[in-house]
Amino acid sequence: MAGIYIHIPFCKQACNYCNFHFSTSLKHKDDLIDAILLEIDQRASKWLRSEFDTVYFGGGTPSLLQIEDIDRLLGKLHQIFSISSRSEITLEANPDDLTIKKLQAYRQMGINRLSIGVQSFFDTDLQQLNRSHNTQQAERSILLAQESGFDNITIDLIYGIPGLSDRMWLQNIQKVIDFNIPHVSAYALTIEPKTALAWQIKNRKFPKVSEEQSAGQFFLLREKLLAHGFEHYEISNFAKKSYESKHNSHYWQNVPYLGLGPAAHSYKDNQRRWNVANNALYIKNITTDKYFETENLTNKDIFNELIMTGLRTSQGVNLENIADLGDKYLHFLEKQIFKYLENKQLIIKNNFLKSDPKALFVIEGIIRDLFMI
């Protein structure tokens, strides 16, 4: 099995924390859709033997596109590739874009999972983050999606926002439970370089983000959701049984995936490929080989990827996969993890290396320490 990711690089406005590739101008939208359709044709030959069980429209904000745009792209994928009839087909959406008409059209064209960018159910947070929707729209979008027949819904939430008290954060989590949402992706507010938020904090236009607050709210989230039947299956992701994201799990399990559109990444046969993160250059060069770059992964690269993806998940790192790379990789890992096993931040169970739940908030720092440089 394999997955398909389509990057739609358009947003209504710029969230101050975002460092993804996007544009707030739809001027070249039609040209970009045409370019993605051309890329599908160009990539076909190397993927014709693959069967795809996930399709993911990400961005950016795919829900900004016209219904006809999504339909053209999805129709082309079905025309060219072998897509399982039981595929998970996800579309990312902003609450203020969702209407009954759009939702019904999404269902009719085969989209069966929605990822709604709620971020918070408090207007003060949404205004701080420069989101384009408000609390009322967030709640209404979930109800409309459910009324339209979507039961596989995930929402994004952000914690660690200055001014977001623990009481308010618990109210956000309670909304998940009250709306019977089966999947949540929750992220700490982080300061990414070259974002509006980084500039605002540097110039004292935005309060500093507290790591202590973020850590506390992370564990509040985990405690509350686990108590209500969710599994914490990846550091930022919680799901009820059978509602895990199949597409994102492909990334963490090193399953091949095809990335289409500007800034999209692909992985197959130990080779990475990434498209230029520039809409104009992507459109201009789509008929040449100048819109992408490739990299063949070495055993060291594969080792680092196994550590990075595995330790983020509840499954952990399969030590047999490390041993398959060669003795030196297993010996290196055994040396690096010794102190983390001693202080019980990492554990080994059934030949899988895993994070202790209490160490999950700092696991990314541990992962970096385990990398082979």
How long, in residues, is the chain?
373
Which distant-in-sequence residues (6+ apart) come within 8 Å of 300 by Cβ?
A: 329, 372
Scanning the chain, the segments in alpha helix (DSSP H) are: 29-47, 67-80, 100-108, 123-128, 135-147, 166-178, 196-202, 211-227, 246-252, 279-285, 299-310, 319-325, 327-342, 363-370
pLDDT at 158 over 90: yes
**So where are the chain's domains?**
2-251, 298-373
For 5, 56, 283, the CA distances from 257, given in Å and listed in that order, are: 7, 10, 22
In the chain, % of residues over pLDDT 70: 100
**Which of 3.30.930.10, 3.30.420.40, 1.20.120.1200, 1.10.10.920 would CATH assign to domain 298-373?**
1.10.10.920
Predicted confidence at residue 205, as pLDDT, reads 87
Backbone angles phi, psi at 281, to 5 degrees: -70, -35
Class of domain 2-251: alpha beta
Strand partners, 265: 274
Please give the single-letter amino acid code of residue 188.
A
- The rounded distance, in Å, linking the Cα atoms of 100 and 11 is 21
Q: Which two tokens stand for residue 41?
A: 């044709």
Average pLDDT over residues 37-57: 97
Q: How far apart are CA 167 and CA 175, in angstroms?
A: 13
DSSP annotation of 24:
S
What does the pLDDT average to over 252-271?
A: 97
Reported as a pLDDT band with limits 50, 70 and 90, residue 325 is very high
Predicted pLDDT of residue 232? 98
Say yes or no to pLDDT of 320 above 90. Answer: yes
Whole-structure pTM value: 0.96
Owner of token pair 């384009």: 132
> Above 90 in pLDDT, residue 110?
yes
